[in-house]
Amino acid sequence: MSRLVWHCLAITALIQQATPFPSLPNLGSMLAPRSGNQFDDIDSWDASDLSYITKLAAIGDSYSAGIGAGNRLGDASQATDSQSDWSCGRHDNAYPSLVNQDGRLGDKSKRRFQFQSCSGATLEDVTKRQLPHIDKGQQVILVSAGANDAEFVNILNHCIYQWASFDSSEKAFDKLGNAIPGLLKDYPHLAEFQIEELTRSCDEQLEISRELVESDDFGNKIDKVLTEAQRKLARDGTIYYTG
């Protein structure tokens, strides 16, 4: 069994159950309120009523920050703060925001929602720059992290959009040199690319990303994120790892 499969199993075990259900003996911590309330009676439990969730947090990368989903939060005055809404590219229709606004969770004004997801964040960034800002006692933590460590943006470049995908011939490099000013104007994030990264084939990039995902380093960093996130949970809290 590959290391990637083992890590998927480990993630499943660590986040416990991801389906809302009332507390039952010997089933550990689930997404359910503490004992001693109306939901202890399974016959009266309403699975659609999640209004007891009063602390919700989101951490991760651009998939969670929601680039392009609705309106960008914050404004350009926040550009000097690398963790601000504007700098992180958080959008108002990102899926964590939609979860927070879902009527089944009740009045959102009664719930503390901490949106720390940041575009471009690596697993280490999540551990060191996002989780420290999350309060303890979270009932739900939404996690989306690991794509940047696996060079997912390079997969998008070489295998799908080809914003700046070239072969290593001299002609291609001349083309690249002429194209850079316009590319950086339209896609400023491409400034982070290295020349070697821009001259890979799709198959080469997929193999590189596969090796990264299956590496011990990648697995250890995911373990670290989940371990630190678990420390922020309430006794009845749950982590949802969305990708």
Intra-chain end-to-end CA distance of the chain, in Å? 20
Residues 181 and 75 in one domain: no
Residues 61 and 163 in one domain: no
Could you give the percent of the chain with pLDDT greater than 70? 69
Is the confidence at residue 100, as pLDDT, over 50?
yes
- At residue 77 the predicted structure's pLDDT band, cuts being 50, 70 and 90, is confident
The tally of domains found in the chain comes to 2
Residues 62 and 156 in one domain: no
CB 104 within 8 A of CB 50: yes
pTM: 0.71
What is the enclosing helix (H) or strand (E) of 228?
Answer: helix 216-230
pLDDT of residue 187: 58
CB 90 within 8 A of CB 115: yes
Residues 104 and 197 in one domain: no
**Domain containing residue 229: CATH number:** 3.40.50
The answer to which of 40-44, 164-168, 187-191 has the lowest mean pLDDT is: 187-191
Residues 227 and 189 in one domain: no
Residues 48 and 124 in one domain: yes
pLDDT of residue 199: 79
- Decide: helix, strand or coil at residue 19: coil
Residues 50 and 168 in one domain: no
CB 122 within 8 A of CB 212: no
Distances (CA, A) of 117 to 4, 60, 199, 230: 24, 4, 30, 17
| pLDDT tens, residue by residue, 189-222 | 555 556 677 778 899 999 999 999 999 999 999 9
Task: Return d(Cα 99, Cα 168) in angstroms, integer.
Answer: 45
Residues 103 and 221 in one domain: yes
For residue 121, what are the domain limits? 3-150+213-241
